């Protein structure tokens, strides 16, 4: 997972094709070479060991996909994080969760609403999840410290951003839970936040947007929630307030209008899916690999690329269009992803770079 050009989708495809990590690591340089990348090297073992040592030093725990402590709510995502670093109370991952997200430059009314919602949800037995950002996130975490809160970080689980939330982050590690899929010590950049948002929504039964501009990270979280089959709710605001524009748009498009915690609880599904002790989590079995000449491989790559463009399509649709076996296409998509010619987006969508 720490090797160059290996994202979530590529990780699971490699594990599915080769069956175990050691074999997949051995195959990566050859796959990259077939794609024209001759100087490819996997993540050095020393780098991985240093990350494990840093995690132990920080008091964090590494949770892998399929572990008993891995969040059951993330297992049905199309792009679940293979690894999660955690600091705090892991039992919170087994409690029904609702996400509260919103503007960093939140209004006084917005932060009051976030505190009220977090308090009501906590009193009803729900954990509150958010992203430890300024504004709405901070208010939601502070109001749910006693009842249970999960902060999903865009950088390393040991890196607090923004720095002004250092005390709050420490309190969350003591009584709540901090999570991150990123390496220890990583300082977040803009590209890390959208990936973080899918985990916030994935952990939750519902996402409540308290305040959000028409173009904001909170709306990305809402879109992720829709793709993941979660409930999307929003607090309405004044039409002249730009911080409420995104919420009003969500309500116009069908999101549940929220006035209080009671509205959230009333809209939640009655049954929360649970993973029982009998549930077996298996990665896909290794695919049978047939010998293929270089010319045939290049021809197949060109067929895939010809079907893809800037507008994303689903992998299932691509396989139907090509009328080829699914295993044959998915294995070559790994190569094209490593070569940087194909981009995989949330929801299993593919586009050509």
User: pLDDT of the chain along its 353 residues, tens only?
Assistant: 999 989 898 899 999 999 999 999 999 999 888 888 888 999 999 999 999 999 999 999 999 999 999 999 999 888 999 999 999 999 999 999 999 999 999 999 999 999 999 999 999 999 999 999 999 999 999 999 999 999 999 999 999 999 999 999 999 999 999 999 999 999 999 889 999 999 999 999 999 999 999 888 899 999 999 989 999 999 999 998 898 999 999 999 999 999 999 999 999 876 444 444 444 445 444 444 445 566 777 788 888 888 888 778 888 778 877 878 776 787 788 778 777 888 887 666 888 88
pLDDT at 344: 80
pLDDT at 290: 44
**Rounded Cα distance, 213 and 107, in Å:** 12
In 3D space, the residue among 237, 235, 224, 239 whose CA is nearest the CA of residue 263 turns out to be: 235
pLDDT at 275: 43
pLDDT at 78: 87
pLDDT at 282: 52
**Rounded Cα distance, 114 and 143, in Å:** 8
In 3D space, the residue among 294, 304, 286 whose CA is nearest the CA of residue 33 turns out to be: 294
pLDDT at 302: 87
| Terminal alpha carbon distance of the chain | 22
pLDDT at 26: 93
pLDDT at 179: 98
**Rounded Cα distance, 338 and 219, in Å:** 29
Paired with 179 in beta bridges are 86, 152
pLDDT at 270: 60
pLDDT at 278: 47
**Which residues, other chains included, contact 29 with Cβ-Cβ below 8 Å and sequence gap of 6+?**
40, 41, 42
């Amino acid at each position: 997972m720490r090797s160059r050009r290996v994202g979530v989708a590529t990780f699971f495809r490699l594990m599915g094709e080769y069956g175990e990590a050691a074999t997949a690591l051995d195959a990566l340089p050859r796959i990259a070479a077939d794609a024209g990348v001759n100087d490819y090297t996997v993540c050095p073992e020393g780098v991985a060991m240093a990350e494990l040592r840093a995690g132990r030093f920080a008091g964090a725990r590494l949770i892998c996909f399929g572990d008993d402590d891995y969040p059951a709510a993330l297992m049905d995502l199309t792009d679940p994080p293979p690894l999660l670093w955690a600091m705090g109370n892991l039992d919170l991952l087994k409690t029904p969760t609702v996400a509260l997200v919103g503007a960093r430059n939140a209004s006084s009314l917005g932060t009051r609403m976030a505190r009220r919602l977090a308090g009501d949800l906590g009193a009803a037995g729900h954990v509150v999840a958010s992203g430890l950002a300024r504004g709405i996130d901070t208010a939601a975490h502070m109001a749910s410290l006693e009842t249970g809160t999960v902060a999903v970080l865009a950088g390393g689980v040991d890196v607090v951003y923004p720095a002004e939330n250092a005390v709050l982050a420490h309190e969350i590690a003591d009584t709540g839970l901090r999570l991150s899929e990123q390496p220890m010590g990583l300082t977040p950049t803009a590209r890390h936040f959208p990936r973080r948002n899918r985990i916030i929504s994935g952990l939750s039964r519902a996402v409540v947007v308290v305040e959000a501009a028409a173009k904001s990270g909170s709306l990305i979280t809402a879109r992720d929630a829709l793709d993941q089959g979660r409930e999307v709710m929003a607090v309405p605001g004044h039409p002249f307030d730009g911080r409420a524009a995104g919420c009003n748009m969500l309500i116009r498009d069908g999101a549940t209008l929220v006035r209080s915690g009671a509205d959230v609880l009333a809209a939640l599904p009655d049954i929360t899916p649970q993973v029982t002790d009998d549930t077996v989590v298996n990665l896909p079995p290794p695919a049978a690999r047939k010998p293929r000449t270089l010319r045939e491989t290049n021809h197949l790559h060109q067929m895939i690329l010809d079907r893809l463009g800037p507008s994303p399509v689903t992998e299932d649709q691509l396989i139907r269009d090509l009328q080829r076996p699914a295993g044959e296409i998915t294995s070559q998509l790994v190569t094209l992803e490593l070569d940087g010619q194909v981009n995989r987006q949330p929801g299993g969508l593919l586009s050509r770079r």
